[in-house]
Structures are given as C-alpha cells and as structure tokens.
Amino acid sequence: MIKFVKISQLVVSTLLIVLVLIQSKSSGLSSTLKSSFNMYRSLRGFEKIIFITTIIAGVLLIVNSLLIVFLG
C-alpha cells in the first residue's frame, strides 16, 4: 500500500508541475505591471479546465502527503 502511495505522489507532483508550467504564459515584472492595468477577464474553455485541474492536483498532493505521513 505504501509503495502505491509513493508512486502516486510522484505522478501527482509531476502532473502539478506540468499544469503550473502550462499556466504561466509570461512571467516577469513588465508582464505583471502590464496585466495589473488590464481589465479582469474570466477564464474560459481550456484555461478553465487547466485551472480547475491544477487545484484538484494540489489537493490530491496534500492528501497523498498526509497518507504517506500516517502510513509511513
């Protein structure tokens, strides 16, 4: 059981890294300042799916980490 949990930890953490990298379009001070002056827009389509999947992967990572602590 603990082996499965550790393998799933690797899979979920890799998935979370990939999802975060997909979301970060352009990061930097100029893009931050530029985006702060733009009007707020809601996420639609593929962006929303990636955003929700990132949140789910983060929650799974936390739950999986707690399982490793309690089972290990």
For 11-20, what is each residue's pLDDT tens digit? 999 999 999 9
pTM of the model: 0.75
User: What pLDDT is stored for residue 39 in this prediction?
Assistant: 60
Rounded-to-integer distance, Cα 46 and Cα 37, Å: 24
State the residue for tokens 């733009």. 38
Give 1-44 pLDDT, tens digit per residue. 889 999 999 999 999 999 999 987 655 545 555 555 556 677 78
User: What pLDDT is stored for residue 72 in this prediction?
Assistant: 77
Q: How many CB atoms lie within 10 A of CB 61?
A: 16
3-state secondary structure 26-71: CCCHHHHHHHHHCCCCCCCCHHHHHHHHHHHHHHHHHHHHHHHHHH
User: What pLDDT is stored for residue 4 in this prediction?
Assistant: 93
